[in-house]
Structure 1
Amino acid sequence: MEKKFGKLVLNVGKNAKDFLEKSKDITIQVADQNADGKFDLEDVSVIAGSVGNVMKKGAQTLKETTDEKARQLELKTLQPIFLETLNDTDFLMSRFIRITDRDKKHAESEVCKGSIGFLSDQKGLHIVNIFRDSIDSYGLSFYPDCDSEFYYVDPSDRDSYIALDEYFNYLKQVRISELQKIAQDLGAKHFKVTYKEEKTSFSEKKVSKKVTAKPIASIDVEQNNENKKYSTVEIAAEMECPGHTPVKPKLKYMKYDPSINGLVEMRMNEHAPLLHQKFMLKLSNSSGLKESEAIKIDAVLKGMKCTGNATVLSETQNESRRYLEYEIGF
């Protein structure tokens, strides 16, 4: 029994020794970088070089990642617009735009090289800022020219912009011209366009009328006084014409006005000829700039220290007191 045990121990020791020898050979083979059958200083140098290369690659990858993050951050901050941006499906020209010189930040930034403008978000407005040296890239038209700084989109043409200072006066004139053209196309013998601006009032009296309903007791009914007072009344256009068979006009600024559409429909009806028509057109109904947008624009202008002798909001509110009285006869 003791002999067997001793033999067993002897075999275990031999196996262990063989295993250690084999492990040593494997380790040397792994560590032997120059294939000379032994592990020496030269192998250490090769391994050190390999480790160094791995570390260099890691450092390079880290640097590239850091640079890309910095680039993305700069793009997000400066929001440059490139020529190819205009073709993106999610890009939309803002209604309120600004034409400006190329500023230092965008001129010196590597990520903005070749840019034609930039986006900005101010006071709740998403604004397209166009670099003055890249205006032609956008394919837009500007009234009266492109020398102003702030513009608002023409309500009848998405690719046309009107200088903010000229906006309300321009729309007044083009709508008068359109009413004149409508009269000519419909074969009118006479037409007159009168511009009227309602007086500003800080209190409005109500006229109370008593209506008697039988057999029920009398009821008080309040209604606005229909006699409006105007601070301005001027004939904007008037003409006598020989008249002719009507041609359906192409509407632009008055395209969605129910009074004008009704006029055209009645005049084009051969079975119920129209002889005379007169109605009032409220200018704010065909103006594209609403009060909610005007408030935001004023906030942007104030933030940029751009102050004039009026606000966009006040002009928008004035527009609601302006009318075109249209009289036409056939």
Structure 2
Amino acid sequence: MSLNEMKKRIAETTDVLFDKTKELSQKTAESASKGLKSVSDIAHQAHHDMRLAYYNPVFPEDYTDSQFDLPDMIVIEDEDARKCIDVCEGSIGWLSKEAGVEVLHLYKEFVALSGLNFFPMINCDAVYYSDTFDNKRFIDLSSYYDVIQKDKMTELRNIAYSLGAKECRLESYEEEKMISRKKVRGKAKTKVNALGEFSSSKESSRKNSVLFEQKFEGSNNPVRPELTWYAHDKELLSLIDMRCSDSGSIQEYNIEINSSLSSTMSATRACKLDTALKKLGVVCNFSLESEYETESRRHLLFYIKF
């Protein structure tokens, strides 16, 4: 091969290599560009997901989903509360967890479409808790125990009416409140023994009141009443059985109802809700725990005349 031919061959080979290198560089640049775009998308999506997790908005499709677990506590919020937050656009509120209690913060504008009943009325910033026997009914926590007590009174009145009573009366009294202080004989932790004498002081009080008195026409055709709060009260169930099996065998009936058997909520739950309210920044001049304690001391005296 002549020198000129060798030069020509080398030149052709160099051109091919240059073209291939250029093509490969272009592809590498395109791939790198796509990779950077992919990384940018992933970072943006991750940031978006983190904001969703932080604000935890609830959208209409979430609320209407059959798998959505409606919390027992709802706070009514103004829609402007999160108006400028992009991940909350189109939402109906948001979820939070306070002291282990899940809370739905529901925009007032969505209440009419929620399918829920808020009692006694709807107010912004008010806190509501679900009715034990109606998961669509939410009662303002500030009057929760009062409303439930009236529900229980209505149920007792309906029992008397359904059984054909001519007259019924419901009285209430509270167990005596006691305060005691005791000192027992024992050793102090210092070298010198300290002996203490047993002593005690006690204060007590008792409140009595008539909750309602009702008169009916009476009937000898009793029907079994629908029960919720007193569905497991053996005394009342026995009365219903006796009256429905032989309406003429009972003329008068007195029963003492222990409110602890139909507690509005447990002590643990009341305490949890009190803590949740504090976490929400709600100011209360009462506590649900004290309401529970008052209810636990309350006894009902139910008198029925047939």
- Could you tell which deviates more after superposition, 249-258 or 157-166? 249-258
What secondary structure does 1:191 align onto?
A: strand
**Normalization by structure 1: what TM-score?**
0.74
- Distance in 1, Cα, partners of 2:180 & 2:209: 22
1:121 deviation in Å?
1.0
Structure 2 counterpart of 1:233: 209
What secondary structure does 2:231 align onto?
A: coil
- Say whether residues 1:107 and 2:90 are aligned partners: no
Structure 1 counterpart of 2:174: 197
Note if contact 1:155-1:253 (Cα within 8 Å) is conserved in structure 2: no
- Say whether residues 1:171 and 2:112 are aligned partners: no
List per-residue Cα deviations over 1:109-144 (Å, max 9, x = no partner). Answer: 322221111111111211111112211232110110
Q: Percent identity?
A: 26
- Distance in 2, Cα, partners of 1:284 & 1:94: 25
Which of 69, 89, 104 pairs up with 1:92? 69
Note if contact 1:266-1:272 (Cα within 8 Å) is conserved in structure 2: no
What secondary structure does 1:147 align onto?
A: coil
Note if contact 2:220-2:247 (Cα within 8 Å) is conserved in structure 1: no
Structure 1 counterpart of 2:101: 125
Q: Which amino acid aligns with 1:72?
A: D
1:183 deviation in Å?
0.9
Note if contact 2:220-2:248 (Cα within 8 Å) is conserved in structure 1: no
1:318 deviation in Å?
0.8
Q: Which amino acid aligns with 1:263?
A: L
Note if contact 2:145-2:264 (Cα within 8 Å) is conserved in structure 1: no
Structure 1 counterpart of 2:258: 282
- Distance in 1, Cα, partners of 2:54 & 2:16: 55
Note if contact 1:198-1:232 (Cα within 8 Å) is conserved in structure 2: no
**Normalization by structure 2: what TM-score?**
0.79
Q: How many residues align?
A: 274
List per-residue Cα deviations over 1:223-279 (Å, max 9, x = no partner). Answer: xxxxx9631322422325333311121223333333322222222113984333221
The correspondence of residues 1-330 of structure 1 with structure 2, limited to 5 A, is 32=19, 44=22, 46-102=23-79, 104=81, 106-147=82-123, 149-203=126-180, 230-270=206-246, 273-330=249-306
Question: After the TM superposition, which parts of structure 1 deviate over 4 Å for at least 4 consecutive aligned residues?
Answer: 27-31
List per-residue Cα deviations over 1:131-187 (Å, max 9, x = no partner). Answer: 122112321101101116111111221110110111111111121122111111111
What secondary structure does 2:246 align onto?
A: coil
Name structure 1 gaps, 5 residues minimum. 1-20, 34-42, 205-227
